[in-house]
Amino acid sequence: MSGHSKYEPKTGFERWLDVRLPIVRMAYDTAIDFPTPKNLNYWWTFGGILAVCLVIQIVTGVVLAMHYVANAGLAFNSVEHIMRDVNHGWMIRYIHANGASMFFLAVYVHIARGLYYGSYKAPREILWLLGCVIYLLMMATAFMGYVLPWGQMSYYGAVVITNLFSAFDNVIPGVGTAITTWLWGGFAVDNATLNRFFSLHYLLPFMIAGVVGLHIWALHVPGNNNPVGVDVKSKEDTVPFHPYYTVKDGFAILVFLLLFSWFVFFAPEALGHADNQVMANPLATPSHIVPEWYFLPFYAILRAVPDKLFGVLGMFGAIAMLFALPWLDTSKVRSMRYRPTARWFFFLFIAATLGLGWCGGKLPDDVVIPIGRDAVTGDPTGFTVVMLSRVLAVYYFAYFIAVLPLLGLFEKTLPVPDTISTPVLPKGGAAMLSGATASPEKKG
């Protein structure tokens, strides 16, 4: 789709610049004139929403770093200083903290859209992989950012996640311990750990921005996928990005910012944990440790496996599935609109992932379905959270390594339209359609 550029420099300066650094041409080709499928729905607006999230996080983060002190003795108080004393500090910190949640909310919708409409299939595998890399970097950034306030949840979050690497002691004794000691810069999570986490937390968002650049580059070679999942066949299947999708994305961004603002101004602590208002204490773990909501499904998988090493492998494997997905799904049909069976497996997958998230927030031995009562204590017994996690985790993996590879071979799909226009026009009249959307942006 990246065809001939239609940019025409209008001023003398633009002409002068265009033969030296065609940066205006690049911006014009990617954000103004870029031919975009005309049938993108609102699920496609989350890319733009995510770009806004990244900018918000970087701007608020740079400001917070002006007031924050990365020292185990001072960090907690410097965050209180931001909340109480710094002008508008409370608002900037709440935007940053809730911004992380909003970022993950948007990225999960964005990923789910890709899963449903088959956006990972050829020729968009690299685009998908770059997205997975961004997601990994986001998780690393969010994790390290959560450690910085140095509250109890921050501290024990850092302890648990870094200790995941100690599972390698089960492979080669000593290696896991060497890795954790290296990560910590000591024998426990301490000041050295906090300092390096701050350094990396500042670095990674800019790496994300770099990979986002590659992600957009990889998007603009094959162009957008679309809800029908068939390739763009002619110019009549597309509209210019501006004004059509600048306006659609812009509207979605505003709606999203309403939700964002509701959290920031009316429920800023709703997604946090009260224990993080207590300064980190290496000698006492809070009675109930949970990660932030966006990590809960993976946390549930970790706990579902009774063996430490395999629990850790399961957790990382859950993300590895996303990387392998383009080569696991054997179906030739991209969009699940035309895959009636796959669609139900997909909805089950979403339900299983949400279910895992719910399990991650509960205690492992909590009873989901009471069957009897313990003879001694009288507590209800039965089907516990950890058992439910196991069932859901099995389905999570089965979706990738069994359902998608096999379903593509046996599934009876619905007839896929020839072009993007066919489903909306009984006779697929491309000529009529081109009249309907003939460049209204040029009519003044």
Cα–Cα distance between 364 and 266 in angstroms, integer?
Answer: 32
The answer to whether 356 and 393 are in contact (CB under 8 A) is: yes
Which is nearest to 383 in space by CA: 352, 405, 362, 408? 362
- At 48, the amino acid letter reads G
Stretch that binds another protein, among 143-151, 182-190, 259-267, 324-332 (CB under 8 A): 182-190
Nearer of residues 182 and 383 to another protein, judged by Cβ: 182
Candidate list 171, 287, 426, 435; residue touching another protein; CB under 8 A: 287
Closer residue to another protein in complex, CB, 184/294: 184
> H-helix or E-strand containing 89?
helix 89-116
Among 39, 277, 285, 381, binds another protein (CB under 8 A): 285
Q: Interface with another protein includes 126 (CB under 8 A)?
A: no
Residue 435 beta carbon to another protein: minimum distance, rounded to whole angstroms: 59
CB of 48 to another protein, least distance (A): 38
Measured CA distances, 23 to 17, 28, 34, 206, 241 (Å): 8, 9, 15, 20, 18
Distance between CA atoms of 176 and 185, rounded to whole angstroms? 14
Q: Does 289 bind another protein (CB under 8 A)?
A: yes
Q: Residue 74 CB, nearest distance to another protein (Å)? A: 17
User: Can residue 183 be called a binding residue for another protein (CB under 8 A)?
Assistant: yes
At which residue do the structure tokens 């975009």 appear? 36
378 lies in the binding site for another protein (CB under 8 A): no
Q: What residues form DSSP beta bridges with 380?
A: 373
Please give the residues from 185 up to 244 whose contact with another protein meets the rule CB under 8 A.
Answer: 185-190, 192, 196
Beta bridge partners of 384: 367
Applying CB under 8 A, does 160 fall inside the site for another protein? Answer: yes
The per-residue DSSP string of 131-163 comes to HHHHHHHHHHHHHHHHHTT-BHHHHHHHHHHHH
CA angle at 350 for the pair 396 and 232, rounded to the nearest 5°: 105
Element (H, E) at 75: helix 75-84
Report 296-335 residues binding another protein (CB under 8 A). Answer: 303, 305-309, 311
Indicate the residue among 58 and 160 with the shorter CB distance to another protein: 160
Enclosing H/E stretch for 384: strand 380-384
Asked if 73 touches another protein (CB under 8 A), the answer is no
Does residue 373 sit in helix, strand or coil?
strand
Residue for token digits 């920031």? 264
Task: Please say which residue, 146 or 263, places its beta carbon nearer to another protein.
Answer: 146
33 binds another protein (CB under 8 A): no
Candidates 363, 391, 398, 430; binder of another protein (CB under 8 A) is: 363
Stretch that binds another protein, among 18-26, 280-288, 338-346, 413-421 (CB under 8 A): 280-288
- Judged by beta carbon, residue 107 or residue 159, the one nearer another protein is 159
Name the residue type at position 393.
A
Residue with tokens 């002409």: 15
CB of 139 to another protein, least distance (A): 17
Nearer to another protein, 88 or 288 (CB): 288
Number of residues that bind another protein (CB under 8 A): 38
Is there binding between residue 286 and another protein (CB under 8 A)? Answer: yes
Cα–Cα distance between 397 and 321 in angstroms, integer? 8
Q: What residues line the site for another protein (CB under 8 A)?
A: 156, 159-160, 162-164, 166, 170, 181-190, 192, 196, 282-289, 303, 305-309, 311, 363-365
